[in-house]
Structure 1
């Protein structure tokens, strides 16, 4: 058993985040995990469309998925810049989207730093713009995509683990790990794996099954905001805060503050959608009685 714990605790240092390197260019598993996450979400969405759960064309799905990927990447990057390291990027604006450092000559660095909350804002904005342009119902689009989304996070968090980033706080538990990029030789919580399971698989199972019983149009996004916010809030107690930020409010990290806002927004959105659905159900019999039926907006 001691041999197993020794292997487990030193596992992060035995994994190379680079698939191959050519000159100064590196292809990393992190990017591959992003592709795997997008593919998983797209496959589940197409499964639902083919099963006639939603009346939307495959062409719309392909175009919308592409736009949402762009929204995730742009939003995630800008979110990191704004929420986590604005002072640095105000001094180095070229590094926001250009994968080179100009501090000491020209060095290929890749684009480092993505914010989940920024990506969330980006993907919602992308879906909303697409729905307006194509005269689709934004709430139905969210009901279609949201149950599949958490599964994609599983791959993203595994990518964080392989990179040895976003590691957890120091622990004395035997399942802690030594992360080569962490300060000091101490065991730390493998918080990336906690997130991969709870933000990914656990939340996916809940939302994927909840979709069968939900009767309120648009409510899946409210459930998602509350579910992810609660799960991530508690996992943040095991995750090391960003070194340049630390705890920004009492003993809470930036992630916990943002997740608290998610839970509040999700609860408020659900109450709004619940009242809207209740009003629509009361209005429908009246409209039918005077000769025309109600159509979902």
Structure 2
């Protein structure tokens, strides 16, 4: 019997690993949300940090939720951060709402409101830029959401079209900021602290992030400016805001780039946001008072 014991132990170990792998990749068959049984409808997305599925109430088909499944073992810090900041933030029209969180030994199941229209990226058709009035409409939603986030001492740290959801409410589309897994507190006890840890997405990161010493709010403002360029051109202006990047260098010295396709009125506004020096970069109060932000694009210029 002792001869077979190592082989049997090895078999049991293999079966256990197989079971864990199945559990790790399993999606939701049924889940209880707000006292109602809900069933999975479809897979909405899958990334490095987890899976998002659409579920629908069994007895009320109009009730739909997005459930983000985050591993409690892999990327534990990311998962805990996402849940922490979603709980910390108050309800706001332009921030995705967490309805509840269900914790199992292996997963966080984060129940979110379902954004019916997908992401801002889904709204962007290649080589078909948004009209200025539509870009302004979504940009205002983004700034309102960021204003709430910053008021609570939080830096989102990964603003980009993939993390901006669109949902329909009546005849209107509403932009909602989501994905708080990389967020950080930049203020606590009314005292602001300087940040040093680089993450986010290079194409949307502000240049001071690469100096490893920066304030929180100007980082999100810079990223919002990049999002506005993407809405108006369908393209990111550069891959990284460093002087060794030719496209970014062209921006600094005033040469032409993808931004040459943006009207002068909008481009002048963007330049106040994409300032190299965060001390003179437009802050949210300045942005809200700017002529571009307050302009009615439904009227003739």
Q: Do these two structures clear the TM 0.5 threshold for a shared fold by scoring above it? A: no
Greater relative contact order (Cα < 8 A, sep 6+): 1
Larger strand share, 1 or 2: 2
TM-score, L = length of structure 1: 0.29
